[in-house]
Chains A and B, each alone.
Chain A
Amino acid sequence: MYLSPTARISLLFLAIAVAGLFVADIAITASNPWRDLGRFFLGVATPDFFSTEGLATALLRTVAFAFVGVALGSACGFLLSLVYRFYPVRIFCAFIRAIHELFWALIFLQFFGFHPLTGVLAIAIPYSGIFAKVYSEILEEADPGPGRLLPPGTGVISAFLYTRIPDCWVQLRTYTAYRLECGLRSSAILGFVGLPTLGFYLETSFSQGLYSEAGAMLILFYVLIATIPIWVRPRLLPVYMVGAPFFLGDGMPIIWGNVERFFTQDIVPAPLRDGEGLASLGHWLHDLLVNEALPGIWNTVVLTQIALVATGILTLLAFPLISNHFGGPIRRTGGHVFLVIARSTPEYILAYILLQLWGPSMLPAVVALALHNGGIIGHLIGRQTNTLQLRPDAPSGFNRYSWELVPRVYRSFLAFLFYRWEIIMRETAILGILGIYTLGFYVDSAIQQIRFDRAMVLILITALLNIGIDVLGRYIRRKLALQTMPTC
Chain B
Amino acid sequence: MAGFQFSGLTASFGGERVLGPLTFGVEEGERIALVGRSGAGKSTLIKLIHERVDGHASLVPQDLGLVNALPVFHNVFIGQLDRHPTWYNSLTLIRPFRKDRDAVRSLLRELSMEEKFWIPTASLSGGQRQRVAIARALYRNADLLLADEPISALDGPMANLIMEALQQRFTTSVVALHDVDMALSFATRIIGIQDGQIALDEPSSRLTAADITPLY
Given the known interface contacts A157-B90, A158-B86, A162-B89, the answer about A146 and B78 at a Cβ–Cβ threshold of 8 Å is yes
Restricting to B129-153, which residues have a CB under 8 Å from any CB of A?
A: 136, 140, 142
Interface residue from B54, B69, B81 paired with A166 (Cβ < 8 Å): B69
Establish whether residues A162 and B68, one from each chain, have CB atoms under 8 Å apart when the complex forms. Answer: no
Given the known interface contacts A157-B86, A167-B69, A169-B69, the answer about A150 and B81 at a Cβ–Cβ threshold of 8 Å is yes
For the complex, what is the distance from the CA of A151 to the CA of B139, rounded to whole Å?
Answer: 11
Restricting to A471-487, which residues have a CB under 8 Å from any CB of B?
A: none
For the complex, what is the distance from the CA of A145 to the CA of B81, rounded to whole Å?
Answer: 16
Contact with A along B40-71 (1 / 0, CB 8 A): 00000000000000111001010101111110
Q: Given the complex, which residues of A lie within 8 Å of B66, measured CB to CB?
A: 146
Q: Does A154 contact B (CB under 8 A)?
A: yes
Closest 3 CB pairs of A and B: A166-B69, A153-B82, A158-B89
CB distance from B150 to the nearest CB of A (A): 14
Q: Given the complex, which residues of B lie within 8 Å of A153, measured CB to CB?
A: 82
Establish whether residues B81 and A159, one from each chain, have CB atoms under 8 Å apart when the complex forms. Answer: yes
Q: Given the complex, which residues of A lie within 8 Å of B84, measured CB to CB?
A: 158
Q: Given the complex, which residues of A lie within 8 Å of B86, measured CB to CB?
A: 155, 157-158
Establish whether residues B69 and A154, one from each chain, have CB atoms under 8 Å apart when the complex forms. Answer: no
Q: Does A152 contact B (CB under 8 A)?
A: yes
Q: Does B93 contact A (CB under 8 A)?
A: yes
Interface residue from B54, B67, B83, B93 paired with A167 (Cβ < 8 Å): B67
Q: Does B38 contact A (CB under 8 A)?
A: no
For the complex, what is the distance from the CA of A155 to the CA of B90, rounded to whole Å?
Answer: 11
Q: Given the complex, which residues of A lie within 8 Å of B89, measured CB to CB?
A: 155, 157-158, 161-162
Interface residue from A154, A157, A161 paired with B82 (Cβ < 8 Å): A154
Q: Does A278 contact B (CB under 8 A)?
A: no
Establish whether residues B56 and A152, one from each chain, have CB atoms under 8 Å apart when the complex forms. Answer: yes
Interface residue from B63, B65, B68, B82 paired with A151 (Cβ < 8 Å): B82
Q: Given the complex, which residues of A lie within 8 Å of B83, measured CB to CB?
A: 151
Given the known interface contacts A152-B56, A161-B93, the answer about A167 and B68 at a Cβ–Cβ threshold of 8 Å is yes
Q: Does A35 contact B (CB under 8 A)?
A: no
Q: A155-B81, A155-B89, A162-B78 are in contact. List 8 more A-B contacts (CB 8 A).
A: A149-B59, A149-B136, A150-B78, A150-B82, A151-B55, A151-B142, A155-B82, A167-B68
Q: Does A170 contact B (CB under 8 A)?
A: yes
Contact with B along A388-421 (1 / 0, CB 8 A): 0000000000000000000000000000000000
Establish whether residues B54 and A146, one from each chain, have CB atoms under 8 Å apart when the complex forms. Answer: no
For the complex, what is the distance from the CA of A346 to the CA of B89, rounded to whole Å?
Answer: 43
Q: Given the complex, which residues of B lie within 8 Å of A152, measured CB to CB?
A: 54-56, 82
Establish whether residues A154 and B65, one from each chain, have CB atoms under 8 Å apart when the complex forms. Answer: no
Q: Given the complex, which residues of B lie within 8 Å of A148, measured CB to CB?
A: 65
Q: Does B7 contact A (CB under 8 A)?
A: no
Q: Does B31 contact A (CB under 8 A)?
A: no
Among residues of A, the one whose C-beta sits closest to the C-beta of B70 is A166
Q: Does B192 contact A (CB under 8 A)?
A: no
Q: Given the complex, which residues of A lie within 8 Å of B70, measured CB to CB?
A: 162, 166
CB distance from B184 to the nearest CB of A (A): 29
Q: Given the complex, which residues of A lie within 8 Å of B81, measured CB to CB?
A: 150-151, 154-155, 158-159, 162
Q: Does A163 contact B (CB under 8 A)?
A: yes
Q: Given the complex, which residues of B lie within 8 Å of A158, measured CB to CB?
A: 81, 84, 86, 89-90
For the complex, what is the distance from the CA of A335 to the CA of B93, rounded to whole Å?
Answer: 44
For the complex, what is the distance from the CA of A158 to the CA of B77, rounded to whole Å?
Answer: 12
Q: Given the complex, which residues of A lie within 8 Å of B90, measured CB to CB?
A: 157-158, 161
Q: Given the complex, which residues of B lie within 8 Å of A166, measured CB to CB?
A: 67-70, 74
Q: Does B79 contact A (CB under 8 A)?
A: yes
- Identify which of A150, A151, A163 gathers the most chain B CB atoms within 10 Å of its CB: A151
13 A-B pairs (CB sep. < 8 Å):
A145-B61, A146-B66, A146-B67, A149-B65, A149-B136, A151-B82, A151-B83, A151-B142, A153-B82, A155-B81, A155-B85, A161-B90, A163-B78
Restricting to B72-110, which residues have a CB under 8 Å from any CB of A?
A: 74, 78-86, 89-90, 93
Q: Given the complex, which residues of B lie within 8 Å of A161, measured CB to CB?
A: 89-90, 93
- Identify which of B67, B83, B136, B140 gathers the most chain A CB atoms within 10 Å of its CB: B67
For the complex, what is the distance from the CA of A155 to the CA of B70, rounded to whole Å?
Answer: 19
Among residues of A, the one whose C-beta sits closest to the C-beta of B69 is A166
CB distance from B152 to the nearest CB of A (A): 17
Q: Given the complex, which residues of B lie within 8 Å of A157, measured CB to CB?
A: 86, 89-90
Among residues of B, the one whose C-beta sits closest to the C-beta of A159 is B81
Establish whether residues A151 and B140, one from each chain, have CB atoms under 8 Å apart when the complex forms. Answer: yes
Q: Given the complex, which residues of B lie within 8 Å of A163, measured CB to CB?
A: 67, 78
Contact with A along B188-200 (1 / 0, CB 8 A): 0000000000000
CB distance from B43 to the nearest CB of A (A): 13
Among residues of B, the one whose C-beta sits closest to the C-beta of A152 is B55
For the complex, what is the distance from the CA of A162 to the CA of B96, rounded to whole Å?
Answer: 13
Among residues of B, the one whose C-beta sits closest to the C-beta of A142 is B67
Q: Given the complex, which residues of A lie within 8 Å of B140, measured CB to CB?
A: 151
CB distance from A338 to the nearest CB of B (A): 37
CB distance from B81 to the nearest CB of A (A): 4
For the complex, what is the distance from the CA of A158 to the CA of B70, rounded to whole Å?
Answer: 14
CB distance from A5 to the nearest CB of B (A): 31
Contact with A along B13-45 (1 / 0, CB 8 A): 000000000000000000000000000000000
Among residues of A, the one whose C-beta sits closest to the C-beta of B85 is A155
Restricting to A164-190, which residues have a CB under 8 Å from any CB of B?
A: 166-167, 169-170
Q: Given the complex, which residues of A lie within 8 Å of B142, measured CB to CB?
A: 151
For the complex, what is the distance from the CA of A127 to the CA of B128, rounded to whole Å?
Answer: 42
Q: Given the complex, which residues of B lie within 8 Å of A146, measured CB to CB?
A: 65-67, 78
Contact with B along A114-127 (1 / 0, CB 8 A): 00000000000000
For the complex, what is the distance from the CA of A149 to the CA of B60, rounded to whole Å?
Answer: 9
